[in-house]
Amino acid sequence: MGEPAGIGGEITVKAWLMRHGKNLPAFVVLADPDRLRAEAESLGQRVPVQVIDSLDQVDDLFETALPVLPVHTKDPVEAGLLNAFNAGAVLESIQTAVRLARDGQVAGIVTNPIHKGILYEAGFKHPGHTEYLADLCGIDHDPVMMLMAQDLKVVPLTVHIPLKDVPQAVTADLLHDKIRVTVRAMQQDFGIAVPRVAVAGLNPHAGEGGSIGSEDLDVIAPALDELRAEGYVIAGPLPADTMFHEMAREEYDIALCMYHDQALIPVKTLDFHGGVNVTLGLPIVRTSPDHGTALNIAGKGVARPDSLMAAILAAQKIASHRNPVT
């Protein structure tokens, strides 16, 4: 479902309408069916929204109707207007999706964007979507956020923290943990037997031998040497400003960056509308559009479904690697 006042419903309806052009696999929506009908009506589109009570119905229905497992909002939804009374439905949809995935009833889940602020008002205790999914899956390690677009896959080492706090957060333990999880996921989810990892430096020119900051020389390089000694294929620390042009991207399978914008700017520049957020290290497949709730354009009919459709296709690809047809 995602945030019901955002663009999640609109892009879901549009994705179903464009299912043939993008060759999307059959999917079921966990949302309020009345809200989806209203979204379709506002777009002037005829979208048969079909409530189902069994996932066995999805494949037969998907060609002619949008299958929905109902998750009803408590209050009526007004586009662009947040309502804490509907936060429970948002969380219920996530909980149900995770349960279905863990039970093997669906190949994976694709989460529409949530609004953490309104969830916090309703008592949400987790830092974000990813941490909540990890808790629901019962894992005892931190999952890893990966962004992908076209031929680029990027993991930020640190995520939503102030830039001034990044140098202290860059530690050998964090580098070891994230690279290990990332490499396992590249093997399991993308079928890359020996993943090549490119690691960006923290400072300009990767510190230039310590003359522009000491972290690259004193922290990052030794941590990477330890991983290389274990057999990991790693390049770096590398100057971040030369890592993302077309020829450079041919030299690695995934890049690890030191902070949020260092990772996300190249992805969004390469394919702003088609980026995908993938959670690595979960026992289930989870992807998401690489954008937010877009409350400012909700209800206007202008939201693009590109990222959602890319996320659906990415989930299908990852699931096929985890469970190959024999």
Kindly report the CATH number assigned to the domain that includes residue 99.
3.40.718.10
Same domain flag for 137 and 280: yes
Same domain flag for 78 and 186: no
- Is the predicted pLDDT of residue 293 greater than 80, yes or no? yes
Backbone dihedral angles phi then psi of residue 284, each to the nearest 5 degrees: -120, 165
Give the pLDDT confidence score for residue 325 in this predicted structure.
60
- Nearest-angstrom CA–CA distance, 114 and 132: 12
Same domain flag for 177 and 244: yes
- Nearest-angstrom CA–CA distance, 159 and 263: 9
Tell me the longest C-alpha to C-alpha distance in the chain. Answer: 64
Same domain flag for 102 and 206: no
Q: Which residues face 218 on adjacent strands?
A: none
Mean pLDDT value across residues 250-279: 96
Mean pLDDT value across residues 72-92: 95
Same domain flag for 180 and 158: yes
Sign of CA dihedral 108, 112, 113, 116: negative
pLDDT digits (tens, 9 = 90+) for 111-146: 999 998 999 888 888 877 888 899 999 998 889 999
Q: Which residues of 35-51 are buried (b: 16+ CB within 10 A; e: fewer)?
A: bbbbbbeeeeeebebbe
Same domain flag for 248 and 168: yes
pLDDT digits (tens, 9 = 90+) for 214-229: 999 999 999 999 999 9
Same domain flag for 163 and 299: no
Q: Which residue has the tokens 């790693």?
A: 234
Dihedral, 39, 45, 48, 53 alpha carbons, nearest 10:
-20
Same domain flag for 308 and 258: no
Mean pLDDT value across residues 75-83: 95
Same domain flag for 249 and 160: yes
| Model confidence, pTM | 0.94
Residues 6+ apart with CB under 8 A from 244: 152, 255, 266, 270
Query: What is the count of structural domains for the chain?
Result: 2
Same domain flag for 27 and 138: yes
Backbone dihedral angles phi then psi of residue 70, each to the nearest 5 degrees: -70, 130
Going from the C-alpha of 324 to that of each of 103, 207, 321, the distances in angstroms are: 18, 44, 6
Same domain flag for 249 and 315: no
End-to-end CA distance of the chain: give it in Å, rounded: 33
Query: How would DSSP label each residue in 10-74?
Result: HHHHHHHHTTTTTTPPP--EEE-HHHHHHHHHHTT----EEE-S-GGGHHHHTTTSEEEEE---S
- Nearest-angstrom CA–CA distance, 284 and 137: 8
For 307, how many CA atoms within 13 A lie in the half-sphere containing its CB?
28
Backbone dihedral angles phi then psi of residue 75, each to the nearest 5 degrees: -115, 155
Same domain flag for 324 and 175: no
Domain of 277, in residue numbers: 1-143+273-326
Domain limit, last residue, from 231, 246, 270: 270
Confidence category of residue 326, pLDDT binned at 50, 70, 90 = very low
For 178, how many CA atoms within 13 A lie in the half-sphere containing its CB?
30
For 294, how many CA atoms within 13 A lie in the half-sphere containing its CB?
19
Q: Which residue has the tokens 């290990």?
A: 180
Mean pLDDT value across residues 57-83: 96
Give the pLDDT confidence score for residue 238 in this predicted structure.
98
Domain limit, last residue, from 250, 270, 290: 270
Length of the chain: 326
Are 29 and 316 in contact by the 8 Å Cβ rule? The answer is: no
